[in-house]
């Protein structure tokens, strides 16, 4: 009897999960499973579908903003703030300042900040999917990754569970580069304390948008710009060739090489010393529909690349600010016709 009840419950659960997945997949094109086993990574078309209006208020939205540097206690009564505070009942969005005020309330309750703190103190909010915005955003659910120092595991869990717009809370100091600075340094990661840190940056280019997914606690922040100076530089280089072969020797999330392939590159060799960068590039190549015969990917120190018998037209060096690139140049000169420090 007991066994039959367990079996029937199991059966009902399985059928429910099957149908839930079926309906989710029907409306979202899942390209690949996220590390969190949820469906954070969706197709490029779907990401781009509503991006122009995604963060706009509707006519019913509450539009009065907070002052970013004035103590929170002088601007509102924190007792009133909860998940419904100033949430639009028509479109379900809240202004980013209200969301940050809600997070601040939890940080105050947990002893990390005080009522004299302003929302500016809370941390660095990164929207996802991200595009350059002219005005501050109105946020739908699970659209904000927060990087902050004013938290611990318990507080981050509380923020994630109480503030619907939060997709994840990462503990870290944005003044310390995340990832691997160079071959002489170890890997520095931020600490993902709640939710899933996969974000999508959308970089506009002359050959269309490039979608760049990033596990934000493990890879450097590079917020998309209206016009990327790096891509402008790569564009000028590519214009000198018909179909160049390119070595994106420190590829990070793969932005430069993916752009080169969307433009006119015959083939791109992506390389990075850091395993997470290599994985991220691989994901981004698939998401941007780049055929796999157009690229190869390696994980090597730029000074010890094993492809010494290959020759490239263009070698790209995009190191972190302050890193001495002279050794990289010497090495790449042996295998590339031209080298560019981005």
Ligand X SMILES: C[S@@+](CC[C@H](N)C(=O)[O-])C[C@H]1O[C@@H](n2cnc3c(N)ncnc32)[C@H](O)[C@@H]1O
Task: Give the footprint of ligand X on this chain (CB under 6 A).
Answer: 179-180, 182-183, 220, 222, 250-256, 272-274, 277, 301-302, 318-320
Q: Mark the segment that binds Zn ion (CB under 5 A) among 35-43, 183-191, 247-255, 276-284.
A: 35-43
CB of 147 to ligand X, least distance (A): 17
Query: What is the full DSSP assignment across 78-140?
Result: GGG-STTTT--TTT--EEHHHHHHHHHHHHHHTTSS-TT--GGGG-EEEESSB---SSPPEE-
Among 34, 122, 139, 169, binds Zn ion (CB under 5 A): 34
Overall size of the chain counted in residues: 342
Residue of minimal CB distance from ligand X? 252
Partner whose binding site includes residue 196, from Zn ion, ligand X, none (CB under 5 to 8 Å by kind): Zn ion
The yes or no reply on residue 198 touching Zn ion (CB under 5 A) is yes
Partner whose binding site includes residue 58, from Zn ion, ligand X, none (CB under 5 to 8 Å by kind): Zn ion
Burial of 91: CB neighbours in 10 Å, binned 0-12, 13-18, 19+: middle
CB of 327 to ligand X, least distance (A): 8
Query: Considering beta carbons, is residue 143 or 255 the nearer one to ligand X?
Result: 255
Partner whose binding site includes residue 91, from ligand X, Zn ion, none (CB under 5 to 8 Å by kind): Zn ion
The strand ranges marked E within the chain are 94-95, 124-127, 138-139, 144-148, 166-171, 179-180, 187-188, 191-195, 198-203, 210-215, 245-248, 267-271, 295-298, 312-317, 336-341
The yes or no reply on residue 200 touching Zn ion (CB under 5 A) is no
Q: Do 127 and 143 form a contact (C-beta atoms < 8 A)? A: yes
Partner whose binding site includes residue 172, from ligand X, Zn ion, none (CB under 5 to 8 Å by kind): none
CB of 195 to ligand X, least distance (A): 23
Partner whose binding site includes residue 320, from Zn ion, ligand X, none (CB under 5 to 8 Å by kind): ligand X
The yes or no reply on residue 119 touching Zn ion (CB under 5 A) is no
Pairwise CA distance, residues 140 & 143, whole Å = 6
Query: Considering beta carbons, is residue 214 or 263 the nearer one to Zn ion?
Result: 214
Pairwise CA distance, residues 229 & 132, whole Å = 14
Query: Site map for Zn ion, 57-96, x if CB under 5 A?
Result: -x-xx--------------------------x-xx-----
Q: Which two tokens stand for residue 106?
A: 């939890």
Pairwise CA distance, residues 189 & 216, whole Å = 9
Query: Considering beta carbons, is residue 150 or 167 the nearer one to Zn ion?
Result: 167
Three-state secondary structure call for residue 193: strand
Query: Considering beta carbons, is residue 147 or 196 the nearer one to Zn ion?
Result: 196
Say how many C-beta atoms besides its own lie within 10 A of residue 160's C-beta: 20
Partner whose binding site includes residue 286, from ligand X, Zn ion, none (CB under 5 to 8 Å by kind): none
Phi, psi of 175 (to 5 degrees): -80, -15
Contact positions toward Zn ion, by CB under 5 A? Answer: 34, 36, 38, 40, 58, 60-61, 88, 90-91, 196, 198
């Amino acid at each position: 009897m007991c066994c039959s009840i367990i079996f029937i419950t199991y059966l009902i659960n399985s059928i429910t999960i099957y149908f839930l997945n079926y309906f989710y997949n029907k409306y979202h094109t899942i390209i690949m499973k996220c590390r969190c086993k949820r469906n954070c990574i969706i197709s490029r078309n779907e990401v781009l579908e509503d991006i122009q209006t995604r963060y706009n208020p509707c006519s019913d939205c509450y539009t009065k903003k907070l002052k970013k540097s004035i103590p929170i206690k002088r601007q509102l009564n924190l007792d009133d703030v909860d998940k419904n505070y100033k949430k639009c009942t028509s479109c379900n969005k809240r202004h980013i300042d209200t969301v940050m005020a809600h997070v601040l309330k939890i940080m105050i309750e947990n002893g990390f900040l005080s009522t004299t703190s302003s929302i500016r103190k809370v941390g660095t909010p990164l929207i996802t999917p991200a595009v350059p915005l002219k005005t501050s955003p109105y946020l739908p659910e699970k659209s904000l990754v927060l990087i902050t120092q004013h938290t611990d595991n318990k507080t981050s869990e509380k923020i994630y569970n109480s503030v619907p717009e939060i997709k994840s809370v990462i503990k870290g100091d944005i003044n310390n580069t995340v990832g691997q600075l160079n071959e002489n340094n170890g890997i520095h990661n931020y600490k993902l304390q709640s939710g899933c840190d996969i974000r999508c940056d959308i970089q506009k280019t002359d050959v269309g948008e490039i979608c760049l997914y990033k596990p934000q606690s493990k890879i450097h922040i590079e917020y998309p710009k209206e016009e990327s100076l790096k891509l402008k530089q790569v564009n000028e280089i590519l214009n000198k060739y018909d179909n160049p072969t390119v070595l994106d020797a420190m590829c990070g999330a793969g932005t430069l090489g993916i752009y080169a392939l969307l433009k006119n590159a015959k083939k791109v060799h992506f390389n990075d010393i850091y395993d997470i960068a290599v994985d991220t590039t691989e994901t981004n190549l698939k998401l941007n529909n780049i055929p796999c015969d157009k690229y190869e990917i390696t994980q090597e120190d730029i000074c010890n690349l094993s492809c010494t018998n290959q020759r490239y037209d263009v070698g790209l060096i995009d190191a972190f600010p302050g890193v001495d690139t002279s050794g990289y140049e010497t090495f790449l000169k042996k295998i590339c016709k031209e080298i560019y420090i981005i």
